[in-house]
Structure 1
């Protein structure tokens, strides 16, 4: 198999609220442009210190459940040593230890090989930075 590497940077606006932002369509569009029916790997990387990438079901409450669990685990209060930004912003810098800023996913026949209810999502609890970048890379 010939190995080809292609990458693209996306601009994503996540808003001014904690959010789970579905990137599945953008990933599929990127693969339509570059995979050309090949098998390979898609890497999704968020080059930010306060954001993660998760694979989960969306639209049925799991995205809200994840945000609620993160609020319980990482409350936005004054306990954090990292103090700049909005109150509790230090917890945003801890988030990537729990929701890593990357995911590598299989691509089969040029299409993302996700499970039935799986979506590729950004998890962003940083309400002070709505303009984000995401790097998609295909190796196949």
Structure 2
């Protein structure tokens, strides 16, 4: 017998940076009764992304944001697509360089993340947003 579950998580972001969503995803997985399987996450946006990153030291996520700000310039003179402001095209580029989907194993009813791993929604726009992450769980239920 297999379990399939589909949940949508709404995440409010304060603006650019990484927002940890590990706990929300873990609750969604626990609610399924899944014992062993896979949690697939997909963000329904083109100017934000999902990453698995260290969650022990907040300097890691701060350094990632600082690095990406240098990597992808917010100079509107560089881009044709500027309809939604100077952060619009850089946000799309940052999303293209990262990920819009993640797959995380589930074992013993829990996310099988490493000791220092957390799941993050990475907001690439300057203004606060409401983002939707789809969590689909597949696998075998607890016996």
TM-score by length of 1: 0.91
Q: Who is 2:42 aligned against? A: 45
Deviation (angstroms), 1:19:
1.6
SS in 2 for 1:75: coil
Shift in alpha-carbon separation, 1:70–1:96, aligned structure 2, 3 A = same
The residue correspondences of 1:27-66 to structure 2 (distance < 5 A) are: 27-34=25-32, 36-58=33-55, 60=57, 61-66=59-64
Q: Distance in 2 between matches of 1:38 and 1:131?
A: 30
Deviation (angstroms), 1:59:
5.1
Q: Distance in 1 between matches of 2:79 and 2:68?
A: 15
> What is the number of equivalent residue pairs in this alignment?
137
Q: Distance in 2 between matches of 1:84 and 1:37?
A: 43
Flag structure 2 segments of 5+ consecutive residues without an equivalent.
none
Flag structure 1 segments of 5+ consecutive residues without an equivalent.
none
Please say if residues 38 and 104 of structure 2, whose CA atoms lie closer than 8 Å, have aligned partners that are also in contact.
yes
Q: Distance in 2 between matches of 1:77 and 1:58?
A: 31
Deviation (angstroms), 1:67:
0.6
Q: Who is 1:22 aligned against? A: 20
Deviation (angstroms), 1:72:
1.1
Q: What is the RMSD computed on CA atoms of the aligned residues? A: 1.3
Q: Which structure 1 residue ranges, 4+ long, deviate > 6 Å from structure 2?
A: none
Please say if residues 80 and 88 of structure 1, whose CA atoms lie closer than 8 Å, have aligned partners that are also in contact.
no
